[in-house]
Amino acid sequence: MNKSSDQATGREPQTGVSDQSARRLTVKILRHNPQDPASEPRFEAYELDEAPGMTLFIALNQIRDEQAPSLQFDFVCRAGICGSCGMLINGRPGLACRTLTSKLGPEITLAPLPVFKLIGDLSVDTGAWARQMGERLETWVHRESEPDIDRLEERMDPDRAEEIYELDRCIECGCCIAACGTARMRKDFVGAAGINKMARFRLDPRDERSDEDFYELVGSDDGVFGCMTLLGCNDVCPKELPLQTQLAFMRRKMVSVK
Amino acid sequence: MKLVYTDVLVIGGGLAGLRAAIGVKRRGLDTVVLSLVPAKRSHSAAAQGGMQASLANSAMGRGDNEDVHFEDTVKGSDWGCDQQVARMFVHTAPKAVRELAGWGVPWNRVRSGDREAVVNAEKITISESSEAHGLITARDFGGTKKWRTCYTSDGTGHAMLFALGDQSIANGIPVMERKEALALIHEGGRCYGAVVRDLVTGELTSFVAKATVIATGGYGRIYKVSTNGIICEGTGMGIALETGVAELGNMEAVQFHPTAIVPAGILTTEGCRGDGGLLRDVDGHRFMPDYEPQKKELASRDVVSRRMTEHMRKGKGVKSPYGDHLWLDITVLGRAHVEKNLREVKDICHYFLGIDPAVDWIPVRPTQHYSMGGIRTRHTGESTTLKGLFACGEAACWDLHGFNRLGGNSVAETVVAGMIVSEFIADFCQSDDSEISIPTALVREFHAREQGKLDELLASEGNEQASDIRRRMEEIMIDKVGIFRTGTELDEAVDELQDLLVRSRKLGLQSRVHGANPELVAAYRLQKMLKVALCVALGARERTESRGAHSREDYPQRDDSNWLKRTLTTWNNENDTLPTVDYEPIDVAGMELPPGFRGYGQADHRDHPDTEGRASEVTAIREQLEDADRFEVQNRLMPYKHLLPERYREKNERLEEPVAKTR
């Protein structure tokens, strides 16, 4: 719907928050607290009335406030930016905060992301995973000299800067890892998030590492050669990163080393 | 009792905390960062539009330098800022951008040749020079004379946070996630660290440190609707306040961002307007030029937010089930621009509103966004009253922003403050002055006190619910301590918040486990939040003038003669229901830029008795030094270089200001 300046309209905000006939939702949550020896993993169902514009962020907070005070889940930005709230939504990895309940059926099933260490209920330890990935792959610009911060910065081709940003947009939410067949079988597989990071630094002219150096980091079955090309990662990435292309590209580059 | 020693304990893993940790680590100190969440999830990631630094590379930034940035910042603050700190900041900001460029931030770059842009609703052509090609470019933001905001699309905070997160890994800095500082350990005016709770196991650990840094961001979440992440609850200020020693500064200075989406309260960047987006009312009319003929949509945030509210009060808002709103129109920028430079905005509109901002207008209204107030520190970042406690970033009031912060100055402040303050911390920790001899009995006392409070909460038979009290606090803050304030409403707010504080001492919990327990977390944060809220409300009630974001309808004038001073609040006794308020004068006679009209917003104010004298002194010095370069003039007006750590004193090179290599 296009509104130019001469079209005087006073309409309400649209689909996401527009009126909808109130549904009764059932949210089934896979619950378990590994800290509690008596806890057994089980599904628990909660019912609530759907409100206009309700997201899973709103729904889960309401469930915790009114029905399940001990329910664990993670949100920070609640705007789809920080990557805290990856979970299985009806079996598919996604960001809960930006998922509108109106896009789902009346029965919603939520479970924690697999592969990662479970903290409790819907909360998993993506932080520890990302840290070890960063340490192993040395996910920072490697250069001999420190930047001279008093002088004009080094120039960079504007297109190149945009290409780097395109890959830099990964938020380490863990959805690609949870959707990865290899990650389920190989606990040390760096996954699409890791390989994409390597592609990002390989593209960056400020990083002085060679393909031989990158080979040392991802030229194995825990890196590019472990990928079975099932491409679940590419399907679920909330940031729509070009993971398929990057995996193929890095594999081709790594094959040609030596 | 679990006990850990480190030289520098950093509480908060966002941009400010990480940069501070990197700084001290590179100076050879041992450091630990504590974070409520994985560091890369910190609210810094949500900064979209960019950071201000006067690189002056792009055509629309030519002629920019520290002087212009300084002037914009001081006017933006409505003369509430510390001008020497503002000088330190504008001088270091270009260095921060360049450091981050070296660490991998993919800043957008200048592309030589002609390009189309939208300025004041008209398409114009900007010609970029070939000599600037490939240098870092900048976009326009509110309240600035030049295009100065450096950016990576609209994910600037994300790109910066990931670069610093990865640098902290490169430097081997331990970042302990899901850890919450409950109390500072202190005695005799000296801070010794903190008692820290593990949010997963519930276990307490005491961290003892020579220096403790609070970099926990703002207190936006004491308001019902805020753009802030849900972890921005002001508890970092809360633990400082609860020492009874540390002072908080200007807590009533709270910024409302003009364009958060309705109803979710999620931010759409100022870059939308900086890049040429317009604000429209129920009739589709572009109303900002009616109020602000000069800066229009790009006046400072406090002014735009007030004008929007004013316009909605005239019945020009768009009715919705969630109250009135206005429209942000970025359709004028064209799809290509929206999809490349405003992609987070596009995603947010898509997922939360179901609209496409390349063709649809975005429903927006002013929403709580930033906390100018914070832990009062010197220019070194050290608390004015509690030795060994430092603060930086949004959690601090050192005081860069005064009563209104310019867009793009907060992200810049996080890293600049991290750079500067970490050097002062390192100097401190490497001096004899920092040596501590602390009895374990003291640590045990603090440790036991915190454990006792938790045990008491878990065993409490009270009948009050933390969630109920918190919800009421949030409503009071947004309804009575919001954009426009009146004495009557502020009285009511202060009274009712005190009642809530009393009630919050009688909580009853349903979930009584010691480990991971969200209900317990909400319960023990509640009192800290209420105390912070009371500092905001009481500071606002007492300040009988309007300055920057603090706007009193019963006192609409900026009153320099009585109020050119900083509010200081402390919490003297645990059982008090009100903070103690004091004031610190701002020295007009030393100002480089004496108080005057900002150039936007309301024009009338009452002068400070020293203003006229200082203004003529400044004029005389400028005339006398007519032939001198700008650095000499500046130095005569208000010397500040000696306040900076030595490594940041060099001049900044620009295309138009080449610097001969001295090192």
**Interface predicted TM-score of the whole assembly (ipTM), two decimals:** 0.95
In the predicted model, what is the mean pLDDT of residues B228-255?
98
Compute, in degrees rounded to 10, the torsion defined by CA atoms A19, A23, A26, A27. 0
- Find the range with the poorest average confidence among A53-57, B161-165, B245-249: A53-57
Please tell me whether residue B136 adopts helix, strand or coil conformation. strand
pLDDT by residue (tens digit) across B433-483?
A: 999 999 999 999 999 999 999 999 999 999 999 999 999 999 999 999 999
**What is the C-alpha radius of gyration for chain A, rounded to an integer number of angstroms?**
22
Share of chain A above pLDDT 90, in %: 88
Residue B612 has pLDDT above 80, yes or no: yes
Tens digit of each residue's pLDDT (9 = 90 or more) over A63-103: 999 999 999 999 999 999 999 999 999 999 999 999 999 99
Closest to A130 (Cβ–Cβ): which among B40, B231, B510?
A: B40
The residue written with tokens 């359709």 in the block is B331
User: Between A130, A158, A168, which is nearest B159 by CB?
Assistant: A168
Which strand (E) or helix (H) includes residue A59? helix A56-66
CA B290, distance to chain mean position in Å, is: 30
**Residue B507: beta bridge partners?**
B464
Q: Min CA distance, B439 vs chain A (Å)?
A: 33
Determine whether the interchain pair A149/B353 forms a contact, defined as Cβ–Cβ distance below 8 Å.
no
A35, A138, A148 member nearest B516 (Cβ): A35
Check whether B372 has a pLDDT greater than 90: yes
Q: For residue A11, is pLDDT > 80?
A: no
Q: Residue B351: what pLDDT?
A: 93
Q: Is the pLDDT of residue B652 over 70?
A: yes
Q: What is the mean pLDDT of chain A?
A: 91
Residue A228 CB-half CA count within 13 A:
11
Which of B41, B99, B130 to probe the A interface (max A CBs under 10 A)?
Answer: B41
Helices B83-102 and B409-429, axial angle in degrees (round to 10): 90
- CB proximity A140 to B under 8 Å: yes
Q: Say if residue B604 is exposed, middle or buried (CB neighbours under 10 Å; 0-12, 13-18, 19+).
A: exposed
- Across all residues in chain B, what is the average pLDDT? 96
User: Do β-strands B484-485 and B551-552 pair in parallel, antiparallel, or remain unpaired?
Assistant: parallel
DSSP letters, B270-300, are THHHHTT-EEE-TTS-B-HHHH-TTTGGGS-
| Residue A125 DSSP SS3 | coil
- In this predicted structure, the answer to whether residue A14 has a pLDDT above a threshold of 70 is no
d(CA B663, CA B652): 14
Q: Which amino acid is at B294?
A: Q
DSSP label at residue B228 = S
**Across B235-241, average pLDDT:** 98
Mean pLDDT along residues B339-346: 92
Say if residue A7's pLDDT is above 80. Answer: no
Q: What is the dihedral of CA B152, B158, B161, B164, to 10 degrees?
A: -50
Chain B nearest-CA residue for A123:
B200
As given in the structure block, the two tokens for residue B451 are 């454990």
Of B43, B221, B257, B376, which is the active-site residue?
Answer: B257
- Mean pLDDT score, A186-196: 96
Distance CA B249, CA B373 (A): 5
Q: Are strands B254-261 and B362-371 parallel, antiparallel or unpaired?
A: antiparallel
3-state secondary structure of B139: strand
Amino acid at B74: V
Check A77 against B43: CB less than 8 A apart: yes
Q: Which of the following is catalytic: B43, B221, B273, B598? A: B273
B186 is catalytic: no
SS3 B86: helix
Quick check: A10 pLDDT over 90? no
Please check the confidence at residue B601 and state whether its pLDDT lies above 50.
Answer: yes
Bridge partners, B33 (sequence order): B10, B175
Average pLDDT of the segment spanning B591-600: 95
Q: What is the pLDDT of residue B659?
A: 86
- Contact between B580 and B625 under an 8 Å Cβ cutoff? The reply is no
Give the model's pLDDT for residue A3. 41
**CA distances (Å), A186 to each of A191, A254, B23, in order?**
10, 20, 37
Q: How far is B8 from chain A (nearest CA, A)?
A: 21
Copy the structure tokens of residue A112.
């924690």
pLDDT score of B560 more than 70: yes
The pLDDT assigned to A21 comes to: 64
Residue B321, pLDDT score: 85
Which residues have a Cβ under 8 Å from the Cβ of B75 and sit 6 or more positions away? B143, B300, B593, B598, B599
Condensed to tens digits (0 to 9), the pLDDT of residues B374-398 reads: 999 999 999 999 999 999 999 999 9
Q: What are the CA-CA distances from residue B82 to residues A250, B256, B350, B586 (Å)?
A: 51, 21, 41, 8
Interface A–B counts its CB contacts (< 8 A) at 268
**What is the bridge-based pairing of β-strands B190-198 and B204-214?**
antiparallel
In the predicted structure, residue B540 carries a pLDDT above the cut 60: yes
**For residue B68, what pLDDT is reported?**
98
Q: Which residue of A has its CA nearest to B231?
A: A76
Per-residue pLDDT for B661 more than 70? no
Interface residue of B54, B122, B169 to substitute, partner A, most A CBs within 10 Å: B169
Asked if the model's pLDDT at residue A8 lies above 90, the reply is no
CB contact under 8 A, B98 and A11: no
Query: What percentage of residues in chain A have a pLDDT greater than 70?
Result: 92
Question: Pick from B526, B522, B463: which is nearest to B500 by CA?
Answer: B526
Chain A residues whose CB is inside 8 A of the B165 CB are 134
Q: How confident is the model at residue B602 (pLDDT cuts 50, 70, 90)?
A: confident
Structure tokens at B243: 């020492």
Active site residue B273: yes
Amino acid at B326: L
- B307 Cβ contact list (under 8 Å, min separation 6): B287, B288, B291, B292, B299
Chain B residues whose CB is inside 8 A of the A64 CB are 518
Q: Is the pLDDT of residue A15 over 50?
A: no
Residue B552 predicted with pLDDT over 50: yes
Q: Which of A14, A151, A153 is opposite residue B353, by nearest beta carbon?
A: A14
Structure tokens at A73: 């889940």
Q: Does A228 touch chain B (CB under 8 A)?
A: no
Asked if A38 is an interface residue toward chain B (Cβ–Cβ < 8 A), one would say: no
Between chains, do A79 and B267 touch, taking CB under 8 Å as contact?
Answer: yes
Distance CA B439, CA A59 (A): 48
Question: What mean pLDDT comes out for the span A111-137?
Answer: 97
What's the pLDDT band for A12 if we cut at 50, 70, 90?
A: very low
Whether the pLDDT of residue B662 is over 80: the answer is: no
User: DSSP characters for B8-71?
Assistant: EEEE--SHHHHHHHHHHHHTT--EEEEESS-GGGSGGGG--S-EE-----SGGGTT--HHHHHH
